[in-house]
Amino acid sequence: GVSMPDPRQVAIDATVTLGQGVEILPGTLIEGTTVVGDGAILGPNSHLLNAAIGTGARVPSSSVNGAEVDPHEVVRPFSVLGGPTT
């Protein structure tokens, strides 16, 4: 399953695909055709749009728009990957 400490502070489009053991932290918005691999940790305060997040990747406080995060990659906080978000 997917773990969310506070689901009230998370928004996920119906078009998103989430793997097993994904953790989604507060303030995270996941939109479009985003695919998240098993065991990834998203947030807090991240925005993913049409992104591909690899197995075991970590995306804290960042924006990923139309970009790919490799398996087990740790994105630096406040990074912007891909195009601008709106």
8 Å CB contact between 8 and 19: no
Work out the mean pLDDT of the chain and round it to a whole number: 96
Residue 22 is classified by DSSP as -
Tokens standing for residue 64: 């990923």
- Coil vs helix vs strand at 7: helix
Average pLDDT rounded to a whole number, residues 41-55: 98
pLDDT of 85 over the 60 cut: no
What is the pLDDT at residue 22? 98
The predicted model scores a pTM of 0.94
pLDDT at 40 over 70: yes
Average of per-residue pLDDT across 32-61: 98
